[in-house]
Each structure stands twice: as C-alpha cells, then as structure tokens.
Structure 1
Amino acid sequence: MAIQVITNFKFIHEKFKLNGVYYSNEALLHVASNFIKEGEPYEKEVGKFLQHWLDENEFVVVKTSGSTGTPKSIKIKKQAMVNSALATGEFFDLKPSDKALHCLPTRFIAGKMMLVRAMVLGLEIDLEAPTAHPDFNIYRAYNFCAMVPLQLDNILQDFNLIKTIIVGGAPVSTALIEKLQGIDSHVYESYGMTETVTHIALKKLNNLPPSLRGKAKRSAESFKTLPNIRISKDERDCLVIDAPKLSEEKIITNDLVEIYSETEFKWLGRIDNVINSGGLKFFPEQIEAKLQDKIQARFFIASKPHETLGEQLILLVEGGIESIDPSAFSSLKRNERPKNIFTLKQFVETASGKVQRKKTVELISHNWS
C-alpha cells in the first residue's frame, strides 16, 4: 500500500505517532482532553493546541513573541502551517516514521509547528518538558529536533543521538558555533517569525568545509530559503519575503539584510536597533557577535543621547559583574567600542525569554544626566 501524502490540515498521516502510539483524529482529541485535565503544564499546552488543530476552524490563533513590540495575537491558516511543514520536510528529506523530539513550549509557533510537522509528514514524535536541559531518551536516536541555543549548549554530550537540529529564538554565539564543529549532527540556524509560520530560511552552522569557515565567507554566513520562497529588499534595505503558500501578501520585515540572490541573504540586524553615531551606522547585533565569547554574562549594545554625535554606543550587562577586562573589546574597531558600560540586575524580557532592548535601556536612562 502506498504511503499517503498529507497536503490538507483535515487529515493526519497514517505513520504519525505521539509518544510511540498512533492516534486517529478522534483518539487524538481524547488524548488532548486528558493532557488538559491531568497533564504537566507543557502537556496542557500540547492538548490545547491539538484541540484547536482538530476543530472546524481553518486557522489557529498564535501570539507573537513581543521582542520588538507589544505581543499580539494573529490568525494563521492551518493550510499555511501544513505548507510550511511540507517545505521543511522537503529541505531536510524527512520521511514517514522518522523520529522527532519535541522540547519547545507549544504556546509559541515553533512548538506548534513541531507537532504539525509530525502530523503532516508522518513523524514519530516524543514529547519532553521544554526545560533548559532537555531530559530526552538517550537510548533512542532521533532524525529531527528544534531547540533554542541554551538547550543546544546543554546537550552537547548527547548530540550524536539527533541527526538534524534547527536552532532559533535567539542569536547563536560564536563560542557555541565553535563547539559544534566536528560533531556528527547537522545543525542549522533558523530565520523566521510567527508571521512566516516559523522558519523560512536556514543557515548551516557545522560540518562545513574548512575553506568555508570564517565570518568573511559568504557560504558560512548566509541563510538559504526553503522551497517556494523568494526574497528581496525594500527601500529601507529590509527583507521582503514572498511566500505565497504561507501568506497571501508579501511579508515586510524590519530586518536589514544583504541580498546575494532571490533565495540567499545575510542578516545584518534589526532596523529598530541601528545606531547612528557621528554620521556612521552601527549594527548592534554585528558588534555583539564579536563579543559573544568574551563576556560571560548576558549583554547587548545600545546607545544614549550625545550632544555632538547624536548617539553614543553603550554596553548593557546583566547580573553582578563589576568590571569587564578591556581586552574583551580587542576584536572591535575603535569606533565600535562602547563608551559606557551599565550593569543591571535583570533585563526586561518577553514571555518567551527574549530581551526587550528598549524597555531595558529605559531602566538606566535616568543615569545619563
């Protein structure tokens, strides 16, 4: 009998399994109900999503992360989520009965999409609590998993149990990328957002030929889009995404990029974060990348008002660090070095743990006078 190909959200793949068990639509609704009534907090989230997925609506309501503004609820068509799952399956050549690990919060789009991929592609998916250190079955090999950088860093010793890992939700530090070199697992950094139904582009982080490693090499720094997705720039030099199977309209982002082709780009940073100091433009994210392995605490680059320069670069550091060795800034150009360092006990975060830069800067703005 031929293996079914699922292209409609109303059907579940015959090879789909949740925690080792196959469920029909009706049985899966029963499982969802049990999760909500008796499950752990992360299982309750899974149960709620499964109920929404199996209802009569053609969309689900998803909250944005709020990292660049106030979180908002948006409607995403279930068929768009199916199309996204199919694109990921094609990119990674995922097959029915492949094993997947789910260790992200299901209340956000990345966690929801892990379940959708399993139901659409026929994956056997295991649920684990979305903790900083996923406690998954070390005796079971997995084909696919999505994680945040902190989780990735914490399971380095078990990497070879997962064939392919996509990582997103926060920048991947240069120190972590170095740790990834030489391991068997294939690790990709993802680019996407709630509005794009999770990732629409991926960048390989390890197992690259030595000649391609290094920050200056295009092949080691560029994202490549998934099938049926094309990109361009607007007049601000921000990324515009043309993904007809995910969105009826082009998606205009606030991400500054360098375009290499209609399917390949380099991410420079958020236009919201760009600092104009003395007529020069600085991308905080690019400076932060140079400092990632030099400063142990969480930090970010921002600016404060300056009479002659307009804006002046500053560094905000979280925690009780009293001073930073000047050698930490040796990799920066002279005009990239922050003129002031501010320490805060805790940064302002979104519900998903992302730093809210502007609100955090407001906490120390009274110290500028």
Structure 2
Amino acid sequence: MIPTYDKVHNHFKLNNKSYNRDELKEVAYSFIKEGSPSEKALGDFLADWLDAKDYIKSKTSGTTGKPKIIKIKKQAMVYSAIATGNYFGLKPKDRALHCLPTQFIAGKMMLVRAIILGLQVDVIEPGTTLNFSSKKHYHFAAMIPMQVQQNLKKLTHIKTLIVGGAPMSSELIDQLQPLQTKVYATYGMTETITHIAIKKLNNFTNSESVSNTYYEVLPSIHISQDERECLVIEAPKLSKEKITTNDVVKLHSEKTFEWLGRFDNVINSGGIKFFPEQIEEKLKGKISNRFFIASEEDDKLGEKLILVLEAVKNDLSNTVFKDLDAYEKPKKIYTVSKFSETTSGKIQRLQTIAAINN
C-alpha cells in the first residue's frame, strides 16, 4: 500500500530521535527560529511539507529552460521516494546521511525518503568537507562531486552513495574503483523530483566498465528524443506532462541512454558539432584552474572554439591540448579572475563570457 504524504513512518528518526507529525512541526519551528542557516532551510522545508497544502514550491535549475518557480505535488515526491527505496533496497530503520543543502530538491528529497521510508537520518552541515562520525555506518547517502572528492576516505562508512548536481571527472571516477561503497551517478532535475535514471560507477562485473555502462531509468519512466535529439521524459507518477529537456542524449535501449551534452552549449564550427562538455572531460586533470569551453563568432567558421580560464593570466602550455583532436583545440584562450556562479555553485557561462566582452 502506497503511503500518503501526510504520514510520518513510525520508524523515522531525525538525528537519533523519533518524531510524530506534530512533534516534527515543533522541530521545524525550532530550526526556523534558532537554527543555523542550513538548519533554518531544513526547518522551512519541514514546515512546508507538514502544512495543509498538497504541494511545495521549488526553483528549477534550468535543465528544461529558464529557471522558474514550480509547484510539485507532495504525493509525487512520495512516489519518487518509494522508487528510490525500491531500486536500492532501502528498508525501515536503515541509516541515511543527509549532507546536502535543503534549499534544493536533492536535499528536500533526502528528508522525504527518510519520513516516508522510515529511515534514521543524520543531518549534518552541508559543506565541502563533511563532519560525520567514523563510528557510524550508513546504508544510503547523496552527495555532489566536490563532496565526494574531499571525503574519499570517509566513503567506506557508506554502503550506497548517489552523486548528482554536476558531471564527475574521469579522474574522480578512477579513484572510486577500489572502494567497496557502491557509487552511482544520477540524472534528474527539479521537474522530475530529483533522479529518474541511475548509472553505475564502480563495483563492476567482468563484462562491465564505466565506458559501456549507461544511465538506466527507474521503473515507470519512459524516454524518447525530440527533433534536436534531446531527452524527453514521461513519468506519469511524477508529472502529468511530458518533460522535454535540453540534454542531448544517445538512446541505447528503451531504458538506457548516454548523456552527450547540453543543446544550448552545442558549438557548430565549420559545419562540425562540438559538445563543450566532452572536450572539457578530455582536459580535466591537465588544467589546475577552473575552466570551460565556449565559442565566439568567426568569419570563416561561423563559430570558433575558445577556452575560458579562471586565472589572472594564461600560463597554459600547448602540451595541455595534446589529447584533443585537431578540430577540438581552442582557437583562443581568455582569462577572468572570477567566474560568475549560481547560488548552488554552478558556473554561469554566458554571464562569464559577457563580463569578458565588457
């Protein structure tokens, strides 16, 4: 029987304490009035989740267009929590680690999973370097790549880890291979109530590897492509409408796909299409500063590839580009002292380029 959003599982615990619905409202109020900024965000969400409305409001990240505020049905969030629980075999009383900002959908859903599935969740400060007890072992956690990178030695305390928010570098994926922790990349967005697809990153069988493992959609999710070859998602339990993304993908089956890059980042240079994300992947580990690939107008090519470097000056040698194909090499390098960023730390490419031009 599917629980309704107004129920709190009798095995749910928050920071080692059990709460019913009314007690949880008091906890939310306490966080809002007396908590740290991250605790206040947690309290705000709990108050929204426990109020009389059947929806919450959340800001989208821009995967399907310009960022906007949307209403998400609470019961749809319940379905999402159950789908994740079923996929990873989560059971009541399993221990979960919550280390993501609750302002964003991924952080909200960690709490919903705990409340609905009866998990015992420990909430810690959502920083880069995480402070959690080495004496505890967790069945489930979610992180962003930067947290994974900074806390590799602590991951042994986590059985299953999902990673989202940004692509992971091949260098970081290599560092995951010796771990017994099962690590998965996730694909999703606010509109799909976090992830709708999972990609295995380590603990491979003899026939598996990172290169031949693709995103696999969760049950009841259907995928296709539009005329741009962008991913189209049908998730009846999560959204009444089809969700058309700006992510260019290659479908490998009815249930699996490979992410190629953002349609709004695609560069057409001399009739050849380039995905900046794929070139950036080849350069990761070779450039210590933050950077990204973009384009500018060119009389002959239409667009030419450029590299934007977060640095005071350009001191890159040509050897950095030795693994790139001839057409992939940037025709020009620009430097900027500080990239423009979103509140969640994602680089704003267009704003950064605009600052260079100005």
TM-score by length of 1: 0.94
Matched, 1:241 2:233: yes
Q: What is the aligned partner in structure 2 of residue 104 from structure 1?
A: 100
Partner of 2:146: 150
Letter paired with 1:49 = F
- Aligned AA (1:53): W
Q: Compared with structure 1, are the counterparts of its residues 299 and 68 closer, same or farther at alpha carbon in structure 2 (3 Å cutoff)?
A: farther
Q: Secondary structure at the match of 1:272?
A: helix
* Structure 2 stretches lacking a partner, 5+ long: none
Are residue 330 (structure 1) and residue 322 (structure 2) matched?
Answer: yes
Conserved? CA contact 2:65–2:246, under 8 Å: no
For residues 325 and 88 of structure 1, the distance between their equivalents in structure 2, rounded to whole angstroms, comes to 45
Q: Whole-Å Cα distance in 2 between the matches of residues 210 and 320 of structure 1?
A: 46
1:37 is matched with which residue? 33
Residue among 258, 283, 288 paired with 1:296: 288
Give the CA deviation at 1:117. 0.4
* Residue number in structure 1 paired with 2:357: 365
Kindly indicate whether the alpha-carbon contact (under 8 Å) linking 1:146 and 1:167 is maintained by their aligned counterparts in 2.
Answer: yes
Contact 1:67 1:356 in 2 (8 A): no
Paired residue for 1:228, among 206, 217, 220? Answer: 220
Contact 2:63 2:245 in 1 (8 A): no
Task: Give yes or no for contact 1:65–1:351 (8 Å, CA) kept in 2.
Answer: no
Match of 1:281 among 261, 273, 295: 273
Offset, 1:322: 2.8
1:166 partner letter = I
SS at match of 2:203: coil
Distance 1:297 1:175 in 2: 15
CA-CA distance at 1:212 after TM superposition: 3.0
Show structure 1 runs of 4+ deviating over 6 A: none
One of 145, 156, 174 as aligned partner of 1:178:
174
The number of residue pairs the alignment matches comes to 358
Structure 2 residue identity aligned to 1:120: I
Contact kept? 1:68, 1:356, Cα under 8 Å:
no
Tell me if structure 2 keeps the 8 A contact 1:7–1:83.
Answer: no
Q: Distance in 2 between matches of 1:324 and 1:311?
A: 23
- How far residue 299 of structure 1 moved from its aligned partner, in angstroms, is 1.1
Aligned residue for 2:186, secondary structure, equals strand
Deviation at 1:320, TM superposition (A): 3.5
Query: Any conservation in 2 of the 1:67–1:355 contact (CA below 8 Å)?
Result: no
Aligned equivalents of 2:36, 2:206: Cα separation in 1: 45
**Any idea what SS the aligned residue of 1:106 has?**
coil
SS in 2 for 1:354: coil
CA distance in 1, matches of 2:155, 2:328: 36
Matched, 1:257 2:252: no
> Gapped runs of 5+ residues in structure 1?
none
Match of 1:124 among 111, 120, 130: 120
For the 8 Å contact 1:231–1:262, the answer to whether it is kept is: yes
Return closer, same or farther for 1:184/1:214 CA change in 2, 3 Å cut-off.
Answer: closer
Please give the alpha-carbon distance, in whole angstroms, between the structure 2 residues aligned to 1:88 and 1:69.
26
Percent identity (aligned) = 54
Tell whether 2:8 aligns with 1:12. yes
For residue 231 of structure 2, give the secondary structure of its aligned residue in structure 1: strand
In the TM superposition, what is the alpha-carbon distance from 1:69 to its structure 2 partner? Answer: 6.3
Check the 8 A contact 2:314/2:334 in 1, yes or no. Answer: no
C-alpha separation between the residues in 2 aligned to 1:150 and 1:52? Answer: 29
Equivalent position to 1:193, from 189, 203, 218: 189
Alignment-derived partner of residue 64 in structure 1: 60
The 3-state SS of whatever aligns with 1:261 is coil
Indicate conservation of the 8 Å contact 1:6/1:121, yes or no.
no
TM, length-normalised to structure 2: 0.97
Deviation of 1:357 (Å):
1.1
Query: Does the alignment pair 1:312 with 2:308?
Result: no
Deviation string for 1:223-244 (max 9, x for gaps)? 0011111100011111000100
Cα distance in 2 for residues equivalent to 1:270 and 1:66: 11
Equivalent pair of 2:63/2:189 in contact (CA under 8 Å): no
Distance in 1 between the 2:288 and 2:166 partners?
16
What is the Cα deviation at residue 211 of structure 1? 4.8
Question: For the structure 1 residues 42 and 6, does the alpha-carbon distance in structure 2 shift closer, same or farther, using more than 3 Å as the test?
Answer: farther
Whether 2:344 is the aligned partner of 1:356: answer no
How far the C-alpha of 1:187 sits from its partner, in A, is: 0.6
What residue in structure 2 maps to residue 87 of structure 1? 83
Asked if structure 2 preserves the Cα contact closer than 8 Å seen for 1:188 and 1:202, the reply is yes
Query: Closer, same or farther in 2 for the Cα pair 1:315/1:176, shift >3 Å?
Result: same
Within the candidate set 264, 280, 290, 1:272 is matched to 264
Contact 1:10 1:54 in 2 (8 A): yes
Query: Deviation of residue 26 (structure 1)?
Result: 0.3
Quick one: which of 106, 129, 134 aligns to 1:133?
129
The residue number in structure 2 matching 1:205 is 201
Shift of 1:97: 0.5
Deviations 1:266-301 (A, max 9, x none): 000110000000000001111111111211211111
CA distance in 2 between partners of 1:210 and 1:284 (Å): 32
TM superposition shift of 1:321: 5.2
CA contact (8 A) 1:65 1:350 kept: no
